[in-house]
Amino acid sequence: MRYLHTMVRVTDVEKSLDFYCNKLGLKEVRRHDNEKGRFTLIFLAAPGDGDTNAKRSPELELTYNWDPEDYGGGRNFGHLAYKVANIYETCQRLMDGGVTINRPPRDGNMAFVRSPDNISIEILQEGAPLPPQEPWLSMKNTGVW
């Protein structure tokens, strides 16, 4: 058995791709439009993942239903998690792109943000935590994560 992907429903393809690709840093690896089913599937991978078809790393599947639906909120989904080379640089890039850091990386190890569709995203420092530093150290939580 091999883990393949996580699917999240999105309400705006452009906003979602801007968040996941331009701000978070994932890349689109394939897309499937299904006219009969009236949906689009967009598969994303972290840089370096998904480069070969033989043994792809797990992907994020964005599902866009062409007919509007209200998906509601809720924490029953949980969250997506990604490791990054430098959590402070990643969080700064996200903030510079207009993303709210809901749980700042005060410990140099973990932060949370939310996608345009309110999916909670955990960002983890690869390897050992970075030494705590400002402005992250004194930054308060914002909203829920």
Q: Which residues are catalytic?
A: 122
Q: For the chain, what is the largest distance between any 2 Cα atoms, rounded to a whole number of angstroms?
A: 53
Alpha-carbon distance 73 to 132, whole Å? 32
Q: What is the 3-state secondary structure (H, E, C) of 77-109?
A: CCEEEEEECCHHHHHHHHHHCCCCEEECCCCCC
Q: What residues form DSSP beta bridges with 32?
A: 41
Q: Could you tell me which of 74, 68, 66, 76 has the C-alpha nearest to residue 35? A: 66
Q: Could you tell me which of 62, 65, 64 has the C-alpha nearest to residue 80? A: 62
